[in-house]
C-alpha cells in the first residue's frame, strides 16, 4: 500500500511537473511573440522617423545657395550650353558649382519640372527664338532643327516640340511663315 501511494504521489508529481514545464514553454513562446511584435513596431516607427528626417533634411538648402544656383542656371540658359547633346544633370551641376541633388531640387522648385523636361523646353524655345531671329530656320527640316537644338533624334524633337507648343514643328513653321507673309503685305 505504501508502494502504491508512493507511485501515485510520484506520478502526480511528474504530471504536475510536466504540466508546469508545458505552461512555462507556452508563456515563453507567448513572450517571444510579444517581443517580436514590439520589435517590429519599433522598427517600423524608426523607419518612418528616418524617412521623415531624410525628407526634411534633404530639402534644406541655404537661401544663398539657392540664389547662387538660380544665378548659375540663368547664365547657363543664356550660354546655350543646353544645345549640347551630352548635357546631363551631373555636367550641369558642375557648371553651376553645386551637386546634382541640389540642382534637381532647385529646377523642380523654381522651374516646375524635372531636369529632362527643363532641358527639352529650353531647346524648343531656342528653336522658336531662332525662327524669329533667323528666318532661314523656317526652311530647315525637323532633323536639322533637332540637331541644332541638341536633341538626339528627330522623333524626340518633334515629340517635345509638340508637348511645349501644342503643335508639330511643321504646323508651327507654317503658321509663322503665314504671319510673316501677312506682315509683309501690310
Query: What percentage of the chain carries pLDDT values higher than 90?
Result: 57
CA angle 65, 67, 72 (to 5 degrees): 95
Q: What is the pLDDT of residue 180?
A: 65
> For residue 156, which of 137, 173, 143, 174 has the smallest C-alpha distance?
143
Alpha carbon 19 to chain centroid, angstroms? 60
Q: What is the pTM of this model?
A: 0.66
Residues 70-110 pLDDT 10s? 999 999 999 999 999 999 999 999 999 999 999 999 999 99
Q: What is the pLDDT of residue 78?
A: 94
Which one has a higher pLDDT value, 161 or 43?
Answer: 161
Q: What is the pLDDT of residue 38?
A: 85
Residues 163-173 pLDDT 10s? 999 999 999 98
Q: What is the mean pLDDT of residues 13-41?
A: 86
Query: What CA–CA distance (Å, rounded) separates 141 from 130?
Result: 14
Amino acid at each position: 500500500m505504501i508502494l502504491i501511494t508512493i507511485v501515485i504521489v510520484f506520478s502526480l508529481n511528474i504530471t504536475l511537473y510536466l504540466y508546469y514545464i508545458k505552461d512555462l514553454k507556452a508563456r515563453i513562446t507567448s513572450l517571444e511573440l510579444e517581443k517580436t511584435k514590439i520589435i517590429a513596431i519599433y522598427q517600423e516607427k524608426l523607419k518612418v522617423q528616418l524617412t521623415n528626417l531624410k525628407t526634411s533634411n534633404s530639402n534644406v538648402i541655404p537661401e544663398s545657395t539657392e540664389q547662387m544656383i538660380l544665378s548659375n542656371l540663368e547664365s547657363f540658359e543664356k550660354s546655350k550650353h543646353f544645345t549640347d547633346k551630352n548635357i546631363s544633370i551631373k555636367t550641369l551641376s558642375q557648371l553651376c558649382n553645386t551637386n546634382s541633388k541640389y540642382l534637381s531640387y532647385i529646377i523642380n522648385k523654381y522651374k516646375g519640372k524635372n531636369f529632362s523636361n527643363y532641358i527639352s523646353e529650353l531647346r524648343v524655345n531656342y528653336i522658336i527664338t531662332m525662327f524669329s531671329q533667323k528666318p532661314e530656320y523656317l526652311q530647315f527640316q525637323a532633323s536639322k532643327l533637332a540637331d541644332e537644338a541638341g536633341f538626339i533624334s528627330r522623333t524626340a524633337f518633334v515629340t517635345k516640340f509638340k508637348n511645349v507648343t501644342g503643335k508639330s514643328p511643321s504646323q508651327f513653321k507654317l503658321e509663322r511663315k503665314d504671319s510673316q507673309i501677312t506682315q509683309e503685305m501690310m
